[in-house]
């Protein structure tokens, strides 16, 4: 494919960027009372307001033209049809099949994948009902009180995020914990106080070879066996979630207790597969399926809505506008919802592992920016940490504000305080405060002379800082499913425009290879000398200090 930067729409966007250089959003709002209506979309009870962006109708139409020139529709269709769009790994990308609640056949090499998807969902239902009802017994005949998921990356972040997000729906008699880090502190702290007789481990690993997960799983098995002293206990206290039955059996887990998924599910897109088992254990299978339903509705929207009414397409295109035409290389995810505490981390992997690439689908280096740095944390905490830079710093950081109109609680005016901040921040970022406005406020306080000039300059906000607002009725399982799917498809859109493979992750391999070698070097008495001087020195210093 032609590099996107060579396409007519890209060139036109570059020119248009110049036209937009002096345009301030406060003027755009003042000149058009219909701006919100023009630049907002709804999907069921979810509002996507993108009017506080540095865009006009022309911007949008050029971005849509870019999507067309990049053959976005054909690329979407290829994913849904089961084409092997993950070209480096020669795999289809079918997480949409996992939540295909319509059950229409989805063919992979001529075979419908839905019977397998439904079989595993049925197995998850039977298992989670047995555990939640207390019918599933540990090796001494006691019911399970604690579930510990051991996984990392895509085998951890999604279920960790959702279990937290759906806390109000969680059965308090079954606690769900997560261990991911190979740092022993993670395991030691999590297992502290747990009773092995009533603890169930879910070993979640697509490959079942990931170093961190395997090390943690082995230590968890030792912890169990050390206390119950019955090798048969593993069958009652360990289940696996994986694509690799051989390795699962090698580890000693009965493959009857293995929840299968497939190579056409990318790790960071696997929350909808059996990797979501801890979610179903925490909130029940009906709610897990409600989450699938919410995602499926967005899949249908993404697949069928015209670009100008397609929320993930617009989200993706706006990201392209800032990343490639304003050099905005960071992007903030700002949920005004404590239950969405882990959403920024989850989307960080989703986005950065997908689009952090510098070669295109044909293997050529790209000469344009891809994948911004994703960060964020729940409002209002972030306001007292990094928002200063977003308001007055030299970097342009587009962001998404996310909130529910209804809280799960009813504690005085907390929710209104939260929402007033959510809305105020988007207004402040957009409007800013002019030097004149700052000066007049100071004059009213009696400030004069040089001090007035200095302070007014410091209190000036340029504004014109873009944000999207996503507002929905309540954070239910369906809404959460829809929200996550919106971001997945946004990432897809951007990968499609950048002509990169959003579904491999070769960039994580080098560190893994080198860690293996360094682990060997750490073992012996000899000094390391086969690396660069810094790496040798770090190894040798560590060896000297550890005694
Ligand atoms: O970090 C690389 C990665 O392969 C991720 O893509 C994946 O989510 C994670 O490691 C865990 O992999 P696995 O599920 O195979 O243990």
**C-alpha 306 – ligand 1 centre gap (Å):** 34
Q: In the prediction, which pLDDT does 547 show?
A: 83
Pairing between β-strand 467-472 and β-strand 46-49 as defined by DSSP bridges: antiparallel
Ligand 1 pocket, residue 154 CB under 6 Å: yes
Three-state SS annotation for 69-124: HCCHHHHHHHHHHCCCCECCCCECCCHHHHCCCCCCCCEECCEECHHHHHHHHHHH
Mean pLDDT, residues 10-27: 98
* Ligand 1 mean position, distance from CA 95 (Å): 16
**How is residue 12 written in tokens?**
């036109």
Q: Is the CB of 244 under 6 A from ligand 1?
A: no
pLDDT at 9 over 80: yes
Helix (H) or strand (E) segment spanning residue 330:
strand 330-335
Q: What is the 99 CA–ligand 1 centroid distance (Å)?
A: 21
Contact 371, 351 (CB under 8 A): yes
Give percent of the chain with pLDDT exceeding 70: 100
Question: Residue 531: what pLDDT?
Answer: 97
Which residue, by CA, sits nearest to atom 16 of ligand 1?
205
pLDDT in tens, 348-366: 999 999 999 999 999 999 9
> How many CB atoms within 10 Å of residue 385?
10
Per-residue b or e along 397-429, where b marks 16 or more CB atoms closer than 10 Å to that residue's CB: bbbbbbbbeebeeeeeeebeebbebbeebbebb
How far away, in angstroms, is 305 Cα from ligand 1 center?
32
Q: Is 267 in the pocket of ligand 1 (CB under 6 A)?
A: yes
Residue pLDDT, tens place only, 409-466: 999 999 999 999 999 999 999 999 999 999 999 999 999 999 999 999 999 999 999 9
Is the CB of residue 145 less than 8 Å from the CB of residue 198? Answer: yes
Q: Is the pLDDT of residue 524 over 90?
A: no
For the CA of 267, the closest atom of ligand 1 is: 8
Residue 47 belongs to what H/E stretch?
strand 46-49
Q: What would the pLDDT profile of 206-260 be if each residue is shown by its tens digit?
A: 999 999 999 999 999 999 999 998 989 999 999 999 999 999 999 999 999 999 9
What SS3 string covers 158-171?
A: HHHHHHHHCHHHCC
pLDDT tier for residue 24 given thresholds of 50, 70 and 90: very high
If you average pLDDT over residues 272-277, what whole number do you get? 98
Could you give the residue numbers annotated as active site?
Answer: 353, 384, 512
How far, in Å, from the CA of 209 to the mean position of ligand 1?
9
Judge if the beta carbon of residue 207 lies within 6 A of ligand 1.
yes
Q: Does the beta carbon of 266 lie inside 6 Å of ligand 1?
A: no
Comparing CA positions, the residue from 111, 109, 106 lying closest to residue 94 is 106
DSSP letters spanning 169-210: GS-TTSEEEEE--SSHHHHHHHHTT--GGGEEEEEE-SSS--
Rounded distance from Cα 155 to ligand 1 centre (Å): 7
Residue 501 CA: distances (Å) to CA of 4, 262, 493: 14, 19, 11
Write down the pTM of the prediction.
Answer: 0.97
Residue whose CA is closest, atom 2 of ligand 1? 508
152 lines ligand 1 (CB under 6 A): yes
CA distance 261 to 206: 8
Phi, psi of 410 (to 5 degrees): -145, 65
508 pocket-lining for ligand 1 (C-beta < 6 Å)? yes
Residue listed under structure tokens 């022993």: 184
Protein residue with its CA nearest to atom 10 in ligand 1: 153
Best residue among 204, 209, 267, 276 to mutate for probing ligand 1's pocket (most ligand atoms within 8 Å of CB) is 267
Rounded Cα distance between 263 and 509, Å, is 18
Q: Does residue 505 line the site of ligand 1, with CB under 6 A?
A: yes
Question: Looking at residue 41, what DSSP letter applies?
Answer: E
Contact yes or no for 51/39 (Cβ under 8 A): yes
Ligand 1 pocket check for 489: Cβ under 6 Å: no
Is the minimum distance from the CB of 210 to ligand 1 under 6 angstroms?
Answer: yes
Total residues belonging to the chain: 547
Ligand 1 mutation pick, 86, 152, 268, 276, max ligand atoms within 8 A of CB:
152
End-to-end CA distance of the chain: 57
> Ligand 1 centroid vs 207 CA: distance in angstroms?
8
Burial label for 448, CB within 10 Å (0-12, 13-18, 19+), is: exposed
Token pair for residue 158? Answer: 């999604």
pLDDT tens per residue across span 410-423:
999 999 999 999 99
**CB neighbour class for 8 (10 Å; exposed up to 12, middle 13-18, buried from 19):** exposed
- Counting atoms of ligand 1 from 1, which one is nearest the CA of 204? 14
Cis peptide before 271 (omega within 30 of 0): no
pLDDT of residue 1: 75
What would the mean pLDDT of 279-296 be, rounded to a whole number? 98
User: Would you say residue 489 has pLDDT above 80?
Assistant: yes
Phi, psi (deg, nearest 5) at residue 413: -100, 20
């Amino acid at each position: 494919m032609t590099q996107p930067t060579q396409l007519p729409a890209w060139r036109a966007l570059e020119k248009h960027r110049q036209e937009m250089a002096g345009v301030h959003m406060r003027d755009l709002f003042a000149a058009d009372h219909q701006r919100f209506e023009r630049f907002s979309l709804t999907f069921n009870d979810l509002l996507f307001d993108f009017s506080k962006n540095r865009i006009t109708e022309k911007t949008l139409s050029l971005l849509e033209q870019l999507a067309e020139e990049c053959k976005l529709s054909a690329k979407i269709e290829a994913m849904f049809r089961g084409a092997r769009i993950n070209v480096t790994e020669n795999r289809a990308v079918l997480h949409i099949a996992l939540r295909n609640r319509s059950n229409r056949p989805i063919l992979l090499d001529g075979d419908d994948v839905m019977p397998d998807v439904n079989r595993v969902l049925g197995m998850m239902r039977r298992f989670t009902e047995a555990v939640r009802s207390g019918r599933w017994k540990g090796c001494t005949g006691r019911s399970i009180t604690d579930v510990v998921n051991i996984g990392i990356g895509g085998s951890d972040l999604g279920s960790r995020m959702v279990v937290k997000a759906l806390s109000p729906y969680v059965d308090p008699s079954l606690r769900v914990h997560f261990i991911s880090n190979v740092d022993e502190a993670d395991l030691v702290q999590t297992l502290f106080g747990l009773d092995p007789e009533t603890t169930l481990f879910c070993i979640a690993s697509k490959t079942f070879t990931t170093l961190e997960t395997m090390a943690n799983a082995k230590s968890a098995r030792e912890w169990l066996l050390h206390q119950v002293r019955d090798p048969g206990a593993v069958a009652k206290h360990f289940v696996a979630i994986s694509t690799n039955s051989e390795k699962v059996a090698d580890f000693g887990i009965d493959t009857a207790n293995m929840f299968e998924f497939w190579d056409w599910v990318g790790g960071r897109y696997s929350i909808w597969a059996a990797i979501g088992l801890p979610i179903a254990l925490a909130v029940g299978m009906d709610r897990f399926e409600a989450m699938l339903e919410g995602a499926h509705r967005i899949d249908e929207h993404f697949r069928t809505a015209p670009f100008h009414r397609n929320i993930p397409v617009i989200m993706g295109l706006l990201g392209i506008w800032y990343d490639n035409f304003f050099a905005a290389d960071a992007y903030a995810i700002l949920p005004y919802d404590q239950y969405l505490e882990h959403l920024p981390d989850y989307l960080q992997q989703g986005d950065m592992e997908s689009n952090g690439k510098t070669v295109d689908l044909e293997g050529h280096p790209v000469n344009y920016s891809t994948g911004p740095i994703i960060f964020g944390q729940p409002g209002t905490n972030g306001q007292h940490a990094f928002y200063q830079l977003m308001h007055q710093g030299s970097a342009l950081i587009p962001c998404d504000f996310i909130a529910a109109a209804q809280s799960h609680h009813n504690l005085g005016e907390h929710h209104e305080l939260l929402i007033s901040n959510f809305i105020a921040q988007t207004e402040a970022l957009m409007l800013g405060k002019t030097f004149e406005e700052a000066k007049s406020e100071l004059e009213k306080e009696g400030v004069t002379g040089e001090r007035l000039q200095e302070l007014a300059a410091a209190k000036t906000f340029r504004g014109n800082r873009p944000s999207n607002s996503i507002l929905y009725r309540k954070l239910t399982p369906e809404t959460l499913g829809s929200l996550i799917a919106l971001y997945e498809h946004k990432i897809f859109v951007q990968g499609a425009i950048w002509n990169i493979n959003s579904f491999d992750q070769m960039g994580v391999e080098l560190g893994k290879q080198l860690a293996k070698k360094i682990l060997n070097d750490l073992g012996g008495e000899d000094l390391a000398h086969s690396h660069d001087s810094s790496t040798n020195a770090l190894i040798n210093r560590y060896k000297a200090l550890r005694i």
